[in-house]
Structure 1
Amino acid sequence: MNLDVLKQYKDKRIVVLGAGLTGMSCVRFLKHHQITCLLNDNREDAVNEQEFAHVFPANQLVLGMWDLDEISHADVLIVSPGIDLHAENLSQHISTYCKVIGDIELFCQVTAKPIIAVTGSNGKSTVVSLLSHIAKELGVNMALAGNVGTPVLELINADVDGFIFELSSFQLETLESMDAEIATVLNISDDHLDRHQTLENYATIKQKVYQQCQFAVINRDDRASYNQLNLPKENVSSFGLDTPTDDNFGLRNVGEQCYLAQGEKLIVNLNELPLAGLHNALNYLAVMAISARLNWSLADVAQACKSFYGLEHRCQRVETADGICWINDSKATNVGATVAAIDGLYPTLSKGKIILIAGGDGKGADFNELASALAHKVGQLITIGKDGPVIARLKDHSLFVASLEDAVKEAHAKAEPGDIVLLSPACASLDMFRNFAERGNVFVQAINALQEAT
């Protein structure tokens, strides 16, 4: 760890915005290095004031409001990723000399250990978790951090060979100093446009990882995910669903069987891997491309993939005895994720139809991108939530219902054995639930209640 870098923060006026897990990890890190700060959160009960004063006696705490005076005089602002400086009307109060960073930026300034950086609109949690699983199976000591799991500063002294980062667009906004060994933008689709305003701006923020890496792994099926790439050809490899050339990664058909392949070399039969759907095939291919760059044996990587059964609320099958395939994809909080789920599952239908349950808070997304999938691959649409009526207008004979439980009942009434009932909301959950996990759990509970009643 390069402690000399921290000298620049000594005697600086530092304000940490946000007292959640990330903000508190920043305060603890600074205290460990004898650097004081002010912690500011506009929530009244963000932390226990007495406990904070006891643990951090040299630091100030301001709750229940943004301290505009302190913010305007700050030399350094360390901003938690969930805080939108523009939406909170804080940008205008930040001085021109103030350095605005996040916890990932602070981490990258002081560590030199290898980093694998993964971002994108969809699939990043699956990809980083699969990479972490593979590393463990191969005996490689890698720590998983960033937008998933433990805040990065909690792991800065970890005895590991390197780090696997899941990076959100919010974290990338304040990231400038990363020197990742490998970086990838898995895909780009409408998400967080309430914060980033345009898809082009969102894509630009995502592609900041390619300005801070040595080697890029790109999705050649998604031009918007790499159209600003500026690296030598020899520092780039690609993955996609078409037949791969050279040493790139893709799918090869042998008779009726489909294989993950590197160039002409077959790696593993797709049917031998647990995660279903073409969107997960892309996730596997991204992992293979990253693994190859790390010089991991692809045969060993493929074997490790066979023991990874995915993450909760991400195209997860709910076991029932009614002959209906119930899929919990509550983590699909944007349009691209839902389209990917539909496109990935549709080819697995031997008979029957897809019944889609969608809706929630769309965060300013353009739902028209769902129209083609709804028209050609979804037999019945049932919607819920704040933007449910908007989505319902995209397909004839759609149903808008008051609750997720009602949606499950309607889906059950219309479903026949062989059908897929897919909860893939294309929306955030906060209009009706605490988070996407609660939404997924309510979906499963409603299904189980129906099974018990029949």
Structure 2
Amino acid sequence: MTRTLRDRRVLVAGAGVSGRSAAEALLAAGAEVTVTDASEERLAALDSVRTGGGRLLPGLLEPPAGTDLVVTSPGWRPGTPLLAAAATAGIEIIGEVELAWWLDRARPEPADWLAVTGTNGKTTTVTMLESVLRAAGLDVVACGNVGLPVVDAVRAGHRVLAVELSSFQLHWSRSLAAQAGVVLNLADDHLDWHGTLDAYGAAKAKVYAGNVVAVHNADDEWSTRLSTGAGRPVSFTLGAPEPGQLGIAGGTLLDRAFADDPAGDVLADVADVHPGGPHNLANALAAAALARAHGVPADAVARGLRAFEPGAHRSVVVAETRGTTWVDDSKATNPHAADAALRAHERVVWIAGGLLKGADVDELVARNAGRLAAVVLIGRDRAAFAEALARHAPHVPVEQVSAGDDAGMSQAVTRAAAHAAPGTAVLLAPAAASMDMFTDYAHRGRAFADAVRALPATAPTTGG
């Protein structure tokens, strides 16, 4: 399906990165464009939109008269006054990803979309997938929630898109039908936005709409449930694979879903996956499944995984000092991600806390109580962590830091250092969002790394 945008009167809600890209693409397609945002400063930065003929109107609470389409930034909730007014008026509301899909379908040769969503591991999986596809010689780019707006990837003309999709982006999608997609896992997150876990899961399940290949995690109940009845089923597991699965056997990643040989194709060695750990092996299997769904040969999977470079703030070793490893996993913005980070270490001094967004940390603390040497809590919702620790890990020393921003992180690192010992990891895996103290999770990770390097006798590593 293609959609005509020329001469349509379109309101872009939000002047951030995706809003700018959407507005520029709409102007290029011949639409009449208005952009609104609560921040006049963000609007003022949209010089390309203004010079292209777009209008910039701050703080709109209802669409201008004659508006027949709204393109919203992904984080805007349906109940936002502007979007609620648009819905009441019967105006179609879509997100930037849906707009990208329309633009791509209008091309003579649309790109192939391989889509990744889930609570944890999206960025790692989509960048692993990009590396594997490049190893196969394909014109591919990772885009979406990973940083590059999908609209920009489409306009650049790439042949294959490795698309990371958040639940917000999927909520605002209508006709997206990727060649293959995966829900990696599902756990409590963004419940303040979606309201319930079921609604959050329903948004994630849109990644399977119309898919030729529906990849799911056989070790995750929600992923399995959401994929039921969707497309051609293919699953992955950390155990030995059955027919129709990818898994691990004899120290190798083995494909028994796309291989001609019933015994399966060896895709890579476990040692080819870095960083290691069960969660990254699962990510690698998911990336391999999507790549194989696109016809990538087995040898390209190994080459791509070996060439893969992890992104910043994802299990990055910042320094080693006196037998202690300091690890930045600021990207662990929910309990599910923090659980994966904690389980990669036997003994941990844990720095945690921030904005929980409605998530519960009881199970996280209970599962990892035995590996905790000490905990330092930061951020607005640190009391919820303290209460869970008192219930499930009363033996673990707990310290709380009330200061914010970089000074608070510096205090947290200093207190963590007092509990560090040879053989332990001091792990920043907050299990919460960062905006109460920092600009974003990257700012939080940089503050951690700076504070660690300021400690006496700290030996920086190349990972920082």
Q: Same fold (TM over 0.5)?
A: yes
Partner of 1:249: 246
CA distance in 2, matches of 1:341, 1:381: 14
The one-letter code of the counterpart of 2:308 is: F
The one-letter code of the counterpart of 1:61 is: L
Q: Deviations over 1:153-187 (max 9, x none)?
A: 22323343221111111110111211211100111
Pick one of 2, 7, 13 that aligns with 1:17.
13
Partner of 1:373: 367
Q: Secondary structure at 1:227's aligned position in 2?
A: helix
Give, in angstroms, the shift of residue 247 of structure 1. 3.9
Pick one of 60, 64, 76 that aligns with 1:66.
60
CA distance in 2, matches of 1:227, 1:202: 13
Change in Cα spacing, 1:228 to 1:35, as seen in structure 2 (3 Å) is same
- 1:404 is the counterpart of 2:409: yes
Partner of 2:445: 440
The one-letter code of the counterpart of 1:240 is: T
Change in Cα spacing, 1:386 to 1:87, as seen in structure 2 (3 Å) is farther
Identify the range of structure 1 (301-310 vs 125-134) with the bigger mean alpha-carbon deviation.
Answer: 301-310
CA contact (8 A) 1:433 1:439 kept: yes
Q: Secondary structure at 1:97's aligned position in 2?
A: coil
The one-letter code of the counterpart of 1:215 is: V
Partner of 1:261: 254
Give, in angstroms, the shift of residue 53 of structure 1. 7.4
Give, in angstroms, the shift of residue 33 of structure 1. 2.0
Mapping for residues 188-337 of structure 1, pairs under 5 Å: 188-231=186-229, 235-252=232-249, 254=250, 258-263=251-256, 264-265=263-264, 266-337=266-337
CA distance in 1, matches of 2:158, 2:46: 35
Give, in angstroms, the shift of residue 452 of structure 1. 4.4
Give, in angstroms, the shift of residue 296 of structure 1. 1.6
- 1:152 is the counterpart of 2:157: no
CA distance in 2, matches of 1:451, 1:308: 33
The one-letter code of the counterpart of 1:422 is: L
Pick one of 36, 41, 48 that aligns with 1:45.
41
- 1:415 is the counterpart of 2:411: no
CA contact (8 A) 1:73 1:95 kept: no
CA distance in 1, matches of 2:218, 2:50: 53
CA contact (8 A) 1:313 1:331 kept: yes
CA contact (8 A) 1:320 1:451 kept: no
Give, in angstroms, the shift of residue 453 of structure 1. 7.2
Partner of 2:84: 91
Partner of 1:121: 119
Change in Cα spacing, 1:53 to 1:14, as seen in structure 2 (3 Å) is closer
CA contact (8 A) 1:315 1:327 kept: yes
- Identical pairs, percent: 32
The one-letter code of the counterpart of 1:364 is: G
Q: Secondary structure at 1:361's aligned position in 2?
A: coil
CA contact (8 A) 2:351 2:375 kept: yes
Q: Secondary structure at 1:45's aligned position in 2?
A: helix
Q: Secondary structure at 1:24's aligned position in 2?
A: helix
CA contact (8 A) 1:218 1:237 kept: yes
Q: Secondary structure at 2:225's aligned position in 1?
A: coil
Give, in angstroms, the shift of residue 96 of structure 1. 4.7
The one-letter code of the counterpart of 1:60 is: R
The one-letter code of the counterpart of 2:442 is: A
The one-letter code of the counterpart of 1:387 is: D
Change in Cα spacing, 1:54 to 1:5, as seen in structure 2 (3 Å) is closer
Change in Cα spacing, 1:411 to 1:128, as seen in structure 2 (3 Å) is same
Partner of 1:171: 169
- 1:355 is the counterpart of 2:343: no
The one-letter code of the counterpart of 1:190 is: D
The one-letter code of the counterpart of 1:26 is: A
Q: Mark the runs of 5 or more structure 2 residues left unpaired by the alignment.
A: 105-109, 257-262, 403-407, 460-464
Q: Deviations over 1:78-113 (max 9, x none)?
A: 111122231557414533521111111122123232
Identify the range of structure 1 (119-128 vs 11-20) with the bigger mean alpha-carbon deviation.
Answer: 11-20
CA contact (8 A) 2:377 2:400 kept: yes
CA contact (8 A) 1:79 1:101 kept: yes
State the aligned residue count. 436
